[in-house]
Amino acid sequence: MIKQAGISSLIAVAAAVAIAAPAVARTLALPSNFSMTGKTPPPSGPAPVPDSPIADPNTPTPPVLSDVTSYVLMDARTGAIIAEAAPDLQVAPASLTKLMTAHIVYQAVKNGSLTMNQTVPVSVTAWHTGGSRMFINPNTDVTVDQLLHGLIVDSGNDAAVALAQAVAGTQSSFVQLMNRDARQLGLTDTNYTDVDGLPDPALHTSALDVAKLSRAILQDEPQILNISKLPSYAYDNITQTSWNPVLAVDPTVDGLKTGLTNESGHCIDATAVRGDMRLIAVVMGGPSWQASTAAIESLLDYGQKFFTDAAISTAGQQIDTLHSAALNTGMVPVGVANTINMTVPSDGASKVAYKITYTADLTPGVTKGETLGTVTYTLDGKALASSPVIALTDAPPASFFTKLKLKLSKYI
Protein backbone atom coordinates (compact mmCIF):
# COMPACT_ATOMS: atom_id res chain seq x y z
CA MET A 1 0.00 0.00 0.00
CA ILE A 2 1.40 3.38 -0.98
CA LYS A 3 1.06 6.27 1.43
CA GLN A 4 -0.09 9.55 -0.11
CA ALA A 5 2.84 12.00 -0.23
CA GLY A 6 1.92 15.36 -1.75
CA ILE A 7 3.88 18.45 -2.52
CA SER A 8 2.76 20.19 0.65
CA SER A 9 5.91 19.19 2.52
CA LEU A 10 8.03 20.66 -0.26
CA ILE A 11 6.12 23.94 -0.30
CA ALA A 12 6.41 24.02 3.48
CA VAL A 13 10.18 24.24 3.11
CA ALA A 14 9.88 27.55 1.31
CA ALA A 15 7.34 28.79 3.84
CA ALA A 16 9.57 27.77 6.75
CA VAL A 17 12.50 29.63 5.25
CA ALA A 18 10.34 32.73 4.83
CA ILE A 19 9.29 32.63 8.49
CA ALA A 20 12.57 31.56 10.10
CA ALA A 21 14.96 33.59 7.95
CA PRO A 22 13.24 36.45 6.15
CA ALA A 23 16.51 37.94 4.91
CA VAL A 24 17.38 34.72 3.12
CA ALA A 25 13.86 34.06 1.96
CA ARG A 26 13.88 37.22 -0.10
CA THR A 27 16.24 35.46 -2.50
CA LEU A 28 13.76 32.64 -3.07
CA ALA A 29 12.34 32.74 -6.58
CA LEU A 30 10.25 29.80 -7.59
CA PRO A 31 10.15 29.46 -11.38
CA SER A 32 7.16 31.00 -13.09
CA ASN A 33 6.16 27.61 -14.48
CA PHE A 34 6.12 25.92 -11.05
CA SER A 35 2.64 24.85 -10.00
CA MET A 36 1.97 25.78 -6.39
CA THR A 37 -0.97 23.39 -6.33
CA GLY A 38 1.32 20.46 -7.00
CA LYS A 39 -0.53 19.63 -10.21
CA THR A 40 0.44 19.77 -13.85
CA PRO A 41 -1.74 18.92 -16.84
CA PRO A 42 -2.29 15.15 -17.07
CA PRO A 43 -1.00 13.34 -20.15
CA SER A 44 -3.24 13.75 -23.17
CA GLY A 45 -4.18 10.97 -25.54
CA PRO A 46 -4.13 7.21 -24.92
CA ALA A 47 -1.89 5.69 -22.27
CA PRO A 48 1.53 4.61 -23.58
CA VAL A 49 1.50 0.94 -24.57
CA PRO A 50 3.57 -1.14 -22.11
CA ASP A 51 5.95 -3.86 -23.19
CA SER A 52 8.51 -6.17 -21.63
CA PRO A 53 11.30 -6.99 -24.09
CA ILE A 54 12.52 -9.91 -21.96
CA ALA A 55 9.23 -11.42 -20.77
CA ASP A 56 8.20 -14.96 -21.61
CA PRO A 57 4.64 -16.13 -22.35
CA ASN A 58 4.01 -16.85 -18.66
CA THR A 59 4.96 -13.34 -17.53
CA PRO A 60 2.17 -10.84 -16.89
CA THR A 61 2.32 -7.74 -19.05
CA PRO A 62 3.77 -4.59 -17.46
CA PRO A 63 1.37 -2.16 -15.78
CA VAL A 64 -0.61 0.31 -17.84
CA LEU A 65 0.25 3.68 -16.29
CA SER A 66 -2.14 6.18 -17.80
CA ASP A 67 -0.98 8.97 -15.47
CA VAL A 68 2.47 9.28 -17.08
CA THR A 69 3.64 10.01 -20.60
CA SER A 70 6.43 7.41 -20.67
CA TYR A 71 8.39 5.05 -18.45
CA VAL A 72 11.28 2.59 -18.29
CA LEU A 73 12.18 -0.09 -15.75
CA MET A 74 15.80 -1.25 -16.04
CA ASP A 75 17.97 -3.72 -14.17
CA ALA A 76 20.98 -1.71 -13.02
CA ARG A 77 23.40 -4.66 -13.03
CA THR A 78 22.64 -6.08 -16.46
CA GLY A 79 21.14 -3.09 -18.22
CA ALA A 80 18.15 -5.21 -19.28
CA ILE A 81 14.92 -3.35 -19.96
CA ILE A 82 12.29 -5.12 -17.88
CA ALA A 83 9.37 -2.88 -18.84
CA GLU A 84 8.87 0.17 -21.02
CA ALA A 85 6.20 2.43 -22.48
CA ALA A 86 7.10 5.08 -25.06
CA PRO A 87 10.73 4.81 -23.89
CA ASP A 88 12.15 6.94 -26.73
CA LEU A 89 9.61 9.76 -26.48
CA GLN A 90 11.49 13.06 -26.30
CA VAL A 91 10.28 15.09 -23.33
CA ALA A 92 11.40 17.99 -21.14
CA PRO A 93 13.69 16.68 -18.38
CA ALA A 94 13.42 19.56 -15.89
CA SER A 95 15.83 18.92 -12.97
CA LEU A 96 16.65 15.42 -14.19
CA THR A 97 19.17 17.45 -16.19
CA LYS A 98 21.16 17.69 -12.95
CA LEU A 99 21.99 13.99 -13.20
CA MET A 100 24.41 14.78 -16.01
CA THR A 101 25.67 17.81 -14.11
CA ALA A 102 26.47 15.56 -11.14
CA HIS A 103 28.04 12.92 -13.39
CA ILE A 104 30.51 15.40 -14.87
CA VAL A 105 31.36 16.87 -11.47
CA TYR A 106 32.11 13.40 -10.09
CA GLN A 107 34.34 12.77 -13.11
CA ALA A 108 36.21 15.98 -12.37
CA VAL A 109 36.74 14.79 -8.79
CA LYS A 110 37.92 11.41 -10.05
CA ASN A 111 40.48 12.93 -12.42
CA GLY A 112 41.75 15.30 -9.74
CA SER A 113 40.69 18.64 -11.23
CA LEU A 114 38.35 19.12 -8.24
CA THR A 115 38.34 17.82 -4.67
CA MET A 116 35.33 17.31 -2.46
CA ASN A 117 36.66 19.67 0.22
CA GLN A 118 37.64 22.35 -2.27
CA THR A 119 36.00 25.74 -1.67
CA VAL A 120 34.12 27.01 -4.71
CA PRO A 121 33.66 30.74 -5.32
CA VAL A 122 30.01 31.71 -5.76
CA SER A 123 29.44 34.07 -8.66
CA VAL A 124 26.68 36.65 -8.79
CA THR A 125 25.18 34.63 -11.64
CA ALA A 126 24.97 31.52 -9.48
CA TRP A 127 23.65 33.53 -6.53
CA HIS A 128 20.83 35.04 -8.58
CA THR A 129 19.82 31.85 -10.39
CA GLY A 130 16.07 31.37 -10.04
CA GLY A 131 14.04 28.29 -9.26
CA SER A 132 14.78 25.74 -6.56
CA ARG A 133 17.88 26.75 -4.59
CA MET A 134 20.25 25.77 -1.80
CA PHE A 135 20.78 29.49 -0.96
CA ILE A 136 24.47 29.98 -1.60
CA ASN A 137 25.84 33.51 -1.85
CA PRO A 138 29.18 35.19 -2.62
CA ASN A 139 29.84 35.91 1.07
CA THR A 140 29.62 32.30 2.27
CA ASP A 141 32.20 29.52 1.80
CA VAL A 142 30.83 26.42 0.08
CA THR A 143 32.62 23.21 -0.90
CA VAL A 144 32.15 20.85 -3.82
CA ASP A 145 30.70 18.28 -1.44
CA GLN A 146 28.16 20.77 -0.08
CA LEU A 147 27.23 21.85 -3.59
CA LEU A 148 26.64 18.23 -4.64
CA HIS A 149 24.31 17.82 -1.66
CA GLY A 150 22.52 21.01 -2.62
CA LEU A 151 22.33 19.87 -6.24
CA ILE A 152 20.87 16.44 -5.52
CA VAL A 153 18.81 16.87 -2.35
CA ASP A 154 17.72 20.51 -2.66
CA SER A 155 17.76 20.40 -6.48
CA GLY A 156 19.53 23.74 -6.29
CA ASN A 157 19.82 25.56 -9.58
CA ASP A 158 22.33 27.87 -7.91
CA ALA A 159 24.42 24.83 -6.95
CA ALA A 160 24.31 23.58 -10.54
CA VAL A 161 25.62 26.88 -11.89
CA ALA A 162 28.37 27.12 -9.27
CA LEU A 163 29.55 23.57 -9.98
CA ALA A 164 29.48 24.11 -13.74
CA GLN A 165 31.61 27.24 -13.38
CA ALA A 166 34.04 25.40 -11.08
CA VAL A 167 34.53 22.61 -13.63
CA ALA A 168 34.44 24.43 -16.95
CA GLY A 169 34.65 28.15 -16.23
CA THR A 170 31.36 28.95 -17.93
CA GLN A 171 27.94 27.33 -18.18
CA SER A 172 28.16 27.16 -21.97
CA SER A 173 31.44 25.24 -21.83
CA PHE A 174 29.97 22.88 -19.25
CA VAL A 175 26.92 22.27 -21.48
CA GLN A 176 29.30 21.19 -24.24
CA LEU A 177 30.75 18.61 -21.84
CA MET A 178 27.22 17.43 -21.03
CA ASN A 179 26.37 16.84 -24.68
CA ARG A 180 29.75 15.19 -25.29
CA ASP A 181 29.09 12.70 -22.51
CA ALA A 182 25.52 12.18 -23.71
CA ARG A 183 26.88 11.10 -27.10
CA GLN A 184 29.47 8.83 -25.49
CA LEU A 185 26.77 7.13 -23.41
CA GLY A 186 24.49 6.66 -26.42
CA LEU A 187 21.79 9.03 -25.18
CA THR A 188 20.36 9.53 -28.65
CA ASP A 189 17.20 11.34 -27.54
CA THR A 190 18.96 13.85 -25.30
CA ASN A 191 20.13 17.39 -25.90
CA TYR A 192 21.24 19.72 -23.12
CA THR A 193 21.02 23.51 -23.27
CA ASP A 194 21.59 24.38 -19.61
CA VAL A 195 23.00 22.87 -16.43
CA ASP A 196 19.89 22.99 -14.24
CA GLY A 197 16.93 21.97 -16.40
CA LEU A 198 15.06 25.26 -16.56
CA PRO A 199 12.78 25.12 -19.62
CA ASP A 200 14.19 25.58 -23.09
CA PRO A 201 12.56 24.40 -26.35
CA ALA A 202 15.77 22.60 -27.36
CA LEU A 203 16.24 20.83 -24.00
CA HIS A 204 14.96 17.27 -24.15
CA THR A 205 15.60 13.69 -23.10
CA SER A 206 13.69 10.38 -22.88
CA ALA A 207 12.86 7.89 -20.17
CA LEU A 208 15.29 5.40 -21.72
CA ASP A 209 18.12 7.94 -21.81
CA VAL A 210 17.52 8.85 -18.16
CA ALA A 211 17.74 5.16 -17.24
CA LYS A 212 20.95 4.72 -19.25
CA LEU A 213 22.53 7.74 -17.60
CA SER A 214 21.41 6.57 -14.16
CA ARG A 215 23.00 3.16 -14.72
CA ALA A 216 26.27 4.79 -15.80
CA ILE A 217 26.25 6.93 -12.66
CA LEU A 218 25.53 3.95 -10.40
CA GLN A 219 28.40 2.03 -12.01
CA ASP A 220 30.94 4.88 -12.05
CA GLU A 221 29.87 7.05 -9.11
CA PRO A 222 27.92 4.86 -6.67
CA GLN A 223 28.80 7.31 -3.89
CA ILE A 224 25.99 9.49 -5.19
CA LEU A 225 23.64 7.21 -3.23
CA ASN A 226 25.13 8.52 0.01
CA ILE A 227 23.59 11.86 -0.95
CA SER A 228 20.47 10.91 -2.89
CA LYS A 229 19.15 8.72 -0.05
CA LEU A 230 19.11 11.61 2.43
CA PRO A 231 15.63 12.77 3.45
CA SER A 232 16.88 16.34 3.94
CA TYR A 233 19.96 18.54 3.84
CA ALA A 234 20.95 21.58 5.91
CA TYR A 235 23.19 24.35 4.62
CA ASP A 236 23.80 27.73 6.25
CA ASN A 237 21.11 27.03 8.88
CA ILE A 238 18.51 26.24 6.22
CA THR A 239 17.16 22.68 6.14
CA GLN A 240 15.35 21.53 3.03
CA THR A 241 13.46 18.29 2.50
CA SER A 242 14.47 16.11 -0.42
CA TRP A 243 12.36 16.64 -3.50
CA ASN A 244 12.15 12.86 -4.00
CA PRO A 245 8.73 11.82 -2.60
CA VAL A 246 9.42 8.09 -3.00
CA LEU A 247 12.05 8.21 -0.25
CA ALA A 248 9.30 8.92 2.27
CA VAL A 249 7.17 5.91 1.36
CA ASP A 250 9.59 3.17 0.27
CA PRO A 251 12.64 2.18 2.38
CA THR A 252 14.12 0.20 -0.53
CA VAL A 253 14.59 3.41 -2.55
CA ASP A 254 17.85 5.33 -2.14
CA GLY A 255 17.89 7.69 -5.13
CA LEU A 256 18.15 9.33 -7.52
CA LYS A 257 16.46 12.54 -8.74
CA THR A 258 13.23 14.30 -9.61
CA GLY A 259 12.20 17.03 -12.02
CA LEU A 260 9.22 19.36 -12.22
CA THR A 261 8.16 22.14 -14.55
CA ASN A 262 4.87 22.69 -16.32
CA GLU A 263 6.55 21.46 -19.49
CA SER A 264 7.91 18.26 -17.95
CA GLY A 265 5.24 17.30 -15.45
CA HIS A 266 6.25 15.36 -12.35
CA CYS A 267 9.28 13.23 -13.32
CA ILE A 268 10.91 10.73 -10.98
CA ASP A 269 14.08 8.71 -11.50
CA ALA A 270 14.19 6.18 -8.65
CA THR A 271 16.55 3.35 -7.85
CA ALA A 272 15.90 0.63 -5.31
CA VAL A 273 17.29 -2.68 -4.13
CA ARG A 274 14.57 -5.29 -4.38
CA GLY A 275 15.64 -8.83 -3.52
CA ASP A 276 18.78 -9.67 -5.50
CA MET A 277 18.30 -6.83 -7.98
CA ARG A 278 18.99 -3.12 -8.11
CA LEU A 279 16.27 -1.59 -10.25
CA ILE A 280 16.04 1.79 -11.98
CA ALA A 281 12.51 3.11 -12.54
CA VAL A 282 11.92 6.27 -14.56
CA VAL A 283 8.53 7.90 -15.04
CA MET A 284 8.03 11.08 -17.04
CA GLY A 285 5.16 13.53 -17.20
CA GLY A 286 3.02 12.61 -14.19
CA PRO A 287 0.29 15.09 -13.15
CA SER A 288 1.28 15.05 -9.46
CA TRP A 289 3.89 13.67 -7.09
CA GLN A 290 1.30 11.20 -5.79
CA ALA A 291 0.62 9.85 -9.28
CA SER A 292 4.29 9.59 -10.21
CA THR A 293 5.16 7.94 -6.88
CA ALA A 294 2.41 5.38 -7.42
CA ALA A 295 3.76 4.71 -10.92
CA ILE A 296 7.29 4.17 -9.58
CA GLU A 297 6.02 1.73 -6.96
CA SER A 298 4.02 -0.21 -9.58
CA LEU A 299 7.13 -0.60 -11.72
CA LEU A 300 9.39 -1.64 -8.85
CA ASP A 301 6.81 -4.17 -7.65
CA TYR A 302 6.48 -5.58 -11.18
CA GLY A 303 10.21 -6.06 -11.52
CA GLN A 304 10.58 -7.67 -8.10
CA LYS A 305 7.66 -10.09 -8.49
CA PHE A 306 8.24 -11.36 -11.99
CA PHE A 307 11.98 -11.13 -12.75
CA THR A 308 15.30 -12.18 -11.29
CA ASP A 309 19.02 -11.93 -12.02
CA ALA A 310 20.68 -15.24 -12.85
CA ALA A 311 24.26 -16.26 -13.59
CA ILE A 312 23.77 -18.10 -16.89
CA SER A 313 27.44 -18.92 -17.46
CA THR A 314 30.39 -18.77 -15.07
CA ALA A 315 33.81 -17.55 -16.11
CA GLY A 316 36.10 -20.48 -16.90
CA GLN A 317 33.29 -23.06 -16.86
CA GLN A 318 33.12 -25.33 -19.92
CA ILE A 319 29.97 -24.90 -22.00
CA ASP A 320 30.96 -26.82 -25.13
CA THR A 321 33.68 -28.87 -26.83
CA LEU A 322 34.92 -27.77 -30.22
CA HIS A 323 35.92 -30.76 -32.35
CA SER A 324 38.37 -30.24 -35.20
CA ALA A 325 40.83 -32.32 -37.17
CA ALA A 326 43.05 -29.24 -37.28
CA LEU A 327 43.95 -29.77 -33.61
CA ASN A 328 46.38 -32.38 -32.37
CA THR A 329 43.95 -33.61 -29.71
CA GLY A 330 41.02 -33.29 -32.08
CA MET A 331 39.14 -31.05 -29.67
CA VAL A 332 39.32 -28.13 -27.26
CA PRO A 333 37.00 -27.19 -24.37
CA VAL A 334 35.40 -23.74 -24.64
CA GLY A 335 33.72 -21.36 -22.22
CA VAL A 336 33.26 -17.64 -21.52
CA ALA A 337 35.87 -15.25 -20.13
CA ASN A 338 33.50 -13.46 -17.76
CA THR A 339 30.50 -14.62 -15.77
CA ILE A 340 27.31 -13.71 -17.66
CA ASN A 341 24.48 -12.38 -15.54
CA MET A 342 21.11 -11.89 -17.17
CA THR A 343 17.77 -10.58 -16.08
CA VAL A 344 15.13 -13.19 -16.86
CA PRO A 345 11.55 -13.95 -15.88
CA SER A 346 11.37 -15.64 -12.49
CA ASP A 347 10.52 -18.98 -14.11
CA GLY A 348 12.89 -18.55 -17.04
CA ALA A 349 16.45 -19.18 -15.84
CA SER A 350 16.28 -22.91 -16.58
CA LYS A 351 14.76 -22.26 -20.02
CA VAL A 352 17.57 -20.13 -21.39
CA ALA A 353 19.11 -21.74 -24.49
CA TYR A 354 22.34 -20.91 -26.25
CA LYS A 355 23.92 -21.30 -29.66
CA ILE A 356 27.63 -21.01 -30.44
CA THR A 357 28.95 -19.78 -33.77
CA TYR A 358 32.62 -20.62 -34.30
CA THR A 359 34.64 -18.31 -36.54
CA ALA A 360 38.30 -18.86 -35.61
CA ASP A 361 40.91 -20.39 -37.93
CA LEU A 362 42.17 -23.44 -36.03
CA THR A 363 44.96 -24.51 -38.36
CA PRO A 364 47.70 -22.67 -36.39
CA GLY A 365 46.42 -24.27 -33.19
CA VAL A 366 44.70 -22.58 -30.26
CA THR A 367 46.04 -20.87 -27.16
CA LYS A 368 44.21 -20.69 -23.83
CA GLY A 369 41.98 -17.59 -23.69
CA GLU A 370 41.83 -17.17 -27.46
CA THR A 371 38.45 -16.08 -28.84
CA LEU A 372 36.98 -18.81 -30.99
CA GLY A 373 33.50 -17.47 -31.72
CA THR A 374 30.34 -16.09 -30.14
CA VAL A 375 27.67 -17.55 -27.91
CA THR A 376 24.14 -16.15 -28.07
CA TYR A 377 21.63 -16.77 -25.27
CA THR A 378 17.92 -16.83 -26.03
CA LEU A 379 14.65 -17.31 -24.19
CA ASP A 380 11.60 -18.30 -26.22
CA GLY A 381 13.38 -17.14 -29.35
CA LYS A 382 14.32 -13.72 -27.94
CA ALA A 383 18.04 -12.93 -27.97
CA LEU A 384 18.99 -11.84 -24.45
CA ALA A 385 22.77 -11.61 -24.53
CA SER A 386 25.85 -12.57 -26.47
CA SER A 387 29.48 -13.05 -25.51
CA PRO A 388 32.77 -14.22 -27.02
CA VAL A 389 33.64 -17.85 -26.36
CA ILE A 390 37.24 -18.68 -25.56
CA ALA A 391 39.49 -21.72 -25.46
CA LEU A 392 39.91 -23.03 -21.94
CA THR A 393 43.15 -24.87 -22.71
CA ASP A 394 45.96 -24.79 -25.23
CA ALA A 395 45.42 -27.01 -28.26
CA PRO A 396 48.42 -27.30 -30.62
CA PRO A 397 47.87 -27.85 -34.34
CA ALA A 398 47.61 -31.36 -35.63
CA SER A 399 51.03 -32.98 -36.22
CA PHE A 400 52.01 -34.87 -39.36
CA PHE A 401 51.42 -38.20 -37.61
CA THR A 402 48.01 -37.10 -36.32
CA LYS A 403 46.95 -36.05 -39.82
CA LEU A 404 48.28 -39.36 -41.23
CA LYS A 405 46.44 -41.31 -38.57
CA LEU A 406 43.19 -39.50 -39.39
CA LYS A 407 43.61 -40.25 -43.08
CA LEU A 408 44.33 -43.93 -42.47
CA SER A 409 41.33 -44.24 -40.16
CA LYS A 410 39.06 -43.44 -43.09
CA TYR A 411 40.20 -46.63 -44.81
CA ILE A 412 39.89 -48.96 -41.87
113 tagged catalytic = no
Catalytic residue, candidates 39, 52, 70, 95: 95
Catalytic residue, candidates 98, 212, 229, 257: 98
32 tagged catalytic = no
Q: Comparing C-alpha atoms, which of 336, 350, 348, 316 is closest to residue 386? A: 336
Q: How far is CA 394 from CA 107, 167, 391, in A?
A: 41, 50, 7
95 tagged catalytic = yes
Sign for the pseudo-dihedral over CA of 83, 86, 87, 92: negative
Q: Comparing C-alpha atoms, which of 123, 117, 108 is closest to residue 146? A: 117
Report DSSP letters for 254-278, one per residue: EEEEEEEETTTEEEEEEEEEETTEE
Type of residue numbered 136: I
Coil, strand, or helix at residue 48? coil
Half-sphere exposure of 247 (CA within 13 A, CB side): 19
Report DSSP letters for 182-240, one per residue: HHHTT-TT-B-S-SS----TT-BB-HHHHHHHHHHHHHH-GGGHHHHT-SEEEETTEEE
CA distance 389 to 393: 12
Catalytic residue, candidates 155, 206, 264, 298: 155
Which residues participate in catalysis according to the annotation?
95, 98, 155
